[in-house]
Amino acid sequence: MIDKIFFNFTRFSALLILIIVAWIFTVLFNHSLEAMNTFGLDFITKDEWAPNLDKFGTQAAILGSIISTFLAMLLAVPVAIGVAIFLSEIAHPKIKGLFGVSVELLAAIPSVIYGMWGLFFFVPIIRDIFGGLGIGLLAAGIILAIMILPFMAAVTRDAMNTTPDILKESAYALGGTQWDVIKDIIIPYAKAGIIGSLILALGRAIGETMAVTFVMGNVHHVPKSILDPTTSIPVTLANEFTEADSSLYFSSLFGLALTLLIMSFVVIAIAKFYFLRKARRA
């Protein structure tokens, strides 16, 4: 009797996850219907965002999300791979442990703090070097890169560490140098895991709000250069959700939220179910 109740409790809790996810999709979809019906494809292909005229085109936000994430990956991936190599192959065991833990702790620092740092300390530097306002895609990309770096390095290192010692030793036994072993053995062996980790970091970067909200500018124009202020999906949501005053405005924001959710869902699913699963099987 109690057994049965306990079982049902646990099963309901587990099913609740599926229910919540389905509910999130349904709610976001229903609320964005108005915008989709009103604008059709214009919703994603136009960048005119004029709440006072009830015109909502999200192209700038979508492009802003994609470009800032792309910039962040471009900057973070090589450094993260370097850090991962350093942590798994080069560093002295003691440094490995210490550095490894601090990288993981840094990954836990709230992203809003990265954003604050970016606004007060990094944007002025960009302004000094490149001129302009300092805020925009470049600042967002760099701060996003710094923010995802610890996570990316930690998971990439974990993927590299799955290479069996005996395989590495075999390559050393043939007269390989450390770099030979890294590029010929570790990276090919852990390839799926490394790619999966990088894509997973990408999935997180797309949805990251607070690190970029400070420095993006929230201007709904497709920028001419990466130095111009623009916006991204999370930035638009963070800035405008509490200001929306018409149902079409709200509906457009929900449409953006749904777009963001689908984008990150797809990216994360590819990372987890294609690459990381393949890595685990190997």
Which residues in the 193-232 window bind other proteins by CB under 8 A?
Answer: 200, 203-204, 206-210, 213-214
**Per-residue mark of binding to other proteins, 30-69 (x: CB under 8 A):** -x--------------------------------------
Distance CA(58)–CA(42), nearest Å, equals 8
Nearer to other proteins by Cβ, of 224 and 281: the residue is 281
* Tokens read off for 16: 């609740």
- Which residue of 39, 43, 56, 117 would you call a contact of other proteins, by CB under 8 A? 117
The continuous run of DSSP H or E covering 228 comes out as none
Applying CB under 8 A, the span of 42-50, 127-135, 160-168, 221-229 interacting with other proteins comes to: 160-168
Inter-axis angle of helices 137-160 and 59-85, nearest 10: 40
Nearer to other proteins by Cβ, of 49 and 151: the residue is 151
251 neighbors 33 (Cβ within 8 angstroms): yes
Q: Does 170 bind other proteins (CB under 8 A)?
A: yes
Residue at token pair 């070097």 = 129
- Which residue of 41, 52, 108, 281 would you call a contact of other proteins, by CB under 8 A? 108
Task: Tell me the three state secondary structure of residue 109.
Answer: coil
The minimum distance between CB 280 and other proteins, in angstroms, equals 13
Q: What is the DSSP string of 37-76?
A: HHHTTHHHH---EEGGGTEE--HHHHHHHHHHHHHHHHHH
Restricted to residues 130-149, the positions that interact with other proteins (CB under 8 A) are 146, 149
Residue 55 bridge partners (DSSP)? 50
Nearer to other proteins by Cβ, of 92 and 224: the residue is 92
- Which residue of 71, 73, 135, 260 would you call a contact of other proteins, by CB under 8 A? 260
Nearer to other proteins by Cβ, of 16 and 50: the residue is 16
The minimum distance between CB 181 and other proteins, in angstroms, equals 9
Q: Which of 259, 203, 212 is nearest to 231 (CA)?
A: 212
Q: For residue 247, what are the contacts with CB-CB under 8 A and spacing of at least 6?
A: 34
